[in-house]
Amino acid sequence: MSSHDISEDNLPHKQAHAHGALGVADKDNPFADPGLPPHEHRIQDIDEKASKRSERIVAALFTLSMLATIGFIAAFVALPVDKIVYIFPLGHISALNFSLGMTLGVALFAIGAGAVHWARTLMSDVEVAAERHPIEASPEVREQVFSDFRDGVTESGIGFGRRKLMRNTLLGALTLVPLSGVVLLRELGPLPGEKLRHTMWSKGKLLVNVNTDEPLRPSDIAVGSLTFAMPEGLHEHDHDFQKEIAKAALMLVRLEPNDIKDKRELEWSHEGIVAYSKICTHVGCPISLYEQQTHHVLCPCHQSTFDLADGARVIFGPAGHALPQLRIGVNDEGYLQALGDFEEPVGPAFWERGES
């Protein structure tokens, strides 16, 4: 690459000739650097009254800050934590939060404003130029560094093909030793196994209404209504409730059997009642924005839309496959029950999922 690298000619000139030396304007070159403009005085530099005024403003700001801090402490002591006040246009807000925040804000802001005003009006505003030095070291330094390095390497005995065995075993040891750390990470969690393929649902499990904790009957579910169910035996206080409901959450709707376009869906339904997983097949949001006139269900997270009248097929959005359907029927006592687990994994797709 280097032999055909971009030639230096393509680079702009080093501009040194175009920019006159500092402060020396080139008469013939109107583009040349005229140097730093002469310093102009501020009002405060020449008017004692103005500078006194600035000083008073700065002192007043610092005093304001002290008062605000006292106000902060007073508010902290005086206001109960649950006191609510109405402040337009903020609404009904916590008196303590508002007064603490405002006093703290003022106390801090006034210090800053005072310091900045001081710097802007009373400290010297003469602009100064400081020299820059190239970051790169000089060739001599560079040469010195390299020769030092060579010396060091030679003295260690590693370099230039000597003592290869020692060097290679060291490299081997250093490569292997982090493995201990990696191996320890194995304890972070179990292997996936078949965990993602099964839910709590099984043949004969009743469909329990999430709202009432009562098993559901077909007559409870009207056309156009939306019901959420969980498997019998799952309770909010169970220690693995979150894990189980994350897979078993069920959404029940009743369609006119004539409206059901998918043959399998009709077979797996009961009197038009269909049970679908509530967990989106995209990334697992509980999907339940059911539009009862269109039979579409929308995910609030990423807008995947499924047609519940057509096997919950994806009709819009990023989900890759239909919502899993749960096969349902009624038991001897007339309660809705599952006729097995979902036949495919619920929730987001994953590498081992495969086609169902």
Partner 1 sequence: MSNAASNESSRSRGKAPAGERVADWADGRLGIYSLAKANMRKIFPDHWSFMLGEVCMYSFIIIILTGVYLTLFFHPSMAEVEYHGSYVPLQGQLMSQAFESTVNISFEVRGGLLIRQIHHWAAVVFIAGMLVHMMRVFFTGAFRKPREVNWLFGFLLLVLGMFTGFTGYSLPDDLLSGTGIRFMQGAILSMPIVGTYLSMFLFGGEFPGTDIIARFYSIHILLLPGIMLGLMVAHLILVFYHKHTQFAGPGRTEKNVVGMPLLPVYMAKAGGFFFLVFGVIAAISAIATINPIWNIGPYRPDQVSTNAQPDWYMGFSEGLIRIMPGWEINFWGHTLVLGVFIPLMVFGLVLVAIAVYPFVESWVTGDKREHHILDRPRNAPTRTAFGAAWIALYFVLLVGGGNDLWATHFHLSINAITWFVRIGMFVVPVLVFIATKRICLGLQRRDREKVLHGRETGIIKRLPHGEFIEVHEPLSQEQLHTLTAHEQYKPAEIGPAVDENGVERKVKASEKLRAKLSHAYYGEGNQIEKPTLEEFKEIEAGHGHH
Partner 2 sequence: MKKLSARRRHPLAAIVVLILALAATGGLYAAFAPAGEAQAEETAQSLAIDEGKKLYTVGCASCHGTGGQGTSDGPSLVGVGAAAVDFQVGTGRMPAQQPGAQVPDKPALYDQAQIDQLAAYVASLGAGPAVPTTEQYDPAGADVARGGQLYRTNCAQCHNFTGEGGALTHGKYAPDLSGVAPKHIYQAMLTGPQNMPSFPDTTMPEQEKKDIIAYLQAVNGEDSVSPGGLKIGGFGPVAEGLFGWVFGLGALVAVAIWVAARTAKAKKS
CA-based nearest residue to 221, from 255, 250, 245? 255
Q: E strand or H helix at 329, and its extent?
A: strand 328-330
- In the complex with partner 1, the residue whose CB is nearer, 78 or 223, is 78
Tokens of residue 110, six digits: 């006034």
Q: Give yes or no for a contact between 268 and 200, defined as CB atoms under 8 angstroms apart.
A: no
Interacting partner of 127 out of partner 2, partner 1, none (Cβ under 5 to 8 A depending on kind): partner 1
84 binds partner 1 (CB under 8 A): no
Interacting partner of 100 out of partner 1, partner 2, none (Cβ under 5 to 8 A depending on kind): partner 1
33 binds partner 1 (CB under 8 A): yes
CA-based nearest residue to 278, from 344, 214, 325? 325
40 binds partner 2 (CB under 8 A): yes
Region binding partner 2 by CB under 8 A among candidate stretches 4-12, 66-74, 176-184, 286-294: 286-294
Q: What is the Cα–Cα distance from 225 to 288, expressed in whole angstroms?
A: 12
Q: Which amino acid is at 272?
A: G
CB of 54 to partner 2, least distance (A): 10
Interacting partner of 43 out of partner 1, partner 2, none (Cβ under 5 to 8 A depending on kind): partner 2
In the set 92, 161, 188, 293, which binds partner 1 (CB under 8 A)? Answer: 188
In terms of phi and psi (left: phi > 0; alpha: psi -120 to 50; beta: otherwise), the region of 285 is beta
Q: What is the Cα–Cα distance from 233 to 252, expressed in whole angstroms?
A: 18
In the set 40, 48, 131, 155, which binds partner 1 (CB under 8 A)? Answer: 131
Find the binding residues for partner 2 in span 58-77 (CB under 8 A).
none
Q: E strand or H helix at 183, and its extent?
A: helix 164-184
In the set 221, 234, 309, 326, which binds partner 2 (CB under 8 A)? Answer: 221
338 binds partner 1 (CB under 8 A): no
CB of 222 to partner 2, least distance (A): 5
What is residue 200's DSSP assignment? S
Q: What is the Cα–Cα distance from 252 to 159, expressed in whole angstroms?
A: 74
Length of the chain: 356
210 binds partner 2 (CB under 8 A): yes
- In the complex with partner 2, the residue whose CB is nearer, 89 or 189, is 89
In the set 180, 242, 258, 293, which binds partner 1 (CB under 8 A)? Answer: 242
- Give phi and psi for 229, each to the nearest 5: -130, 155
In the set 301, 310, 330, 335, which binds partner 1 (CB under 8 A)? Answer: 301
Tokens of residue 85, six digits: 């006040």
In the set 17, 24, 25, 259, which binds partner 1 (CB under 8 A)? Answer: 25
